[in-house]
A and B are shown apart, each in its own frame.
Chain A
Amino acid sequence: EPEVTQTPSHQVTQMGQEVILRCVPISNHLYFYWYRQILGQKVEFLVSFYNNEISEKSEIFDDQFSVERPDGSNFTLKIRSTKLEDSAMYFCASSERAMREKLFFGSGTQLSVL
């Protein structure tokens, strides 16, 4: 069964450093998302992306965050200057069409900011 792939599975970084989290969505999917989950808390929406532009973003997704689809397969989340509170599990997700259908999540990248 096709799946969403995320790399790396774990990322440790120093506060203030830039990180890039990578995702390969399911190949025929057109809508891409990033969510995050702080340890022990609920999953939170960050951003959705379609047709090479952001469709919607949350209050969490401030100027320190950006997303990009640099080629036909990858979808990335960049955090320019990490903060301690950015420590979380970051999930990439994709869907074939707009949200009104099943959303498929990757296995996540655990980001630890020291």
Chain B
Amino acid sequence: GIQVEQSPPDLILQEGANSTLRCNFSDSVNNLQWFHQNPWGQLINLFYIPSGTKQNGRLSATTVATERYSLLYISSSQTTDSGVYFCAVEGMDSSYKLIFGSGTRLLVRP
């Protein structure tokens, strides 16, 4: 099945710093989404981005489907950005399930 790898596994930032999280996937995908799992465990959908670039406030994401990777940019990080960021993809052989990566654990220090 499709493999999803995220890097880095852990990231520590000072408040106000910028960061880039990467997601590589092993095969063509129909769907790619980025999620933020906050310290309370809740999964928040950040982007649905199978290709192209999107921006939402301080966050933006770019997916280059032909090269099988996606990037999540966080600018001017805040302590509330802390948590785990997951990339999840839907392979071409399925319309009903997302395969998650192992996540990037982000800690933003004040």
Contacts and interface: CB of A to CB of B under 8 A. Distances in A.
12 contacts: A31-B96, A43-B100, A48-B96, A48-B97, A56-B94, A56-B97, A58-B97, A99-B96, A100-B30, A100-B31, A101-B48, A102-B48
B31 A99 contact: yes
A36 B39 CA distance: 17
A42 B102 contact: yes
Range of interface residues on chain A? 20 to 34
Interface residues of B, number: 25
Given A101-B48, A104-B45, A108-B41, A42 B31 contact: no
Contact of A105 (B42, B97, B99): B42
Interface of B: 30-31, 33, 35, 40-45, 48, 50, 86, 88, 90, 94-103
B98 A99 contact: yes
A43 B101 CA distance: 8
B45 A103 contact: yes
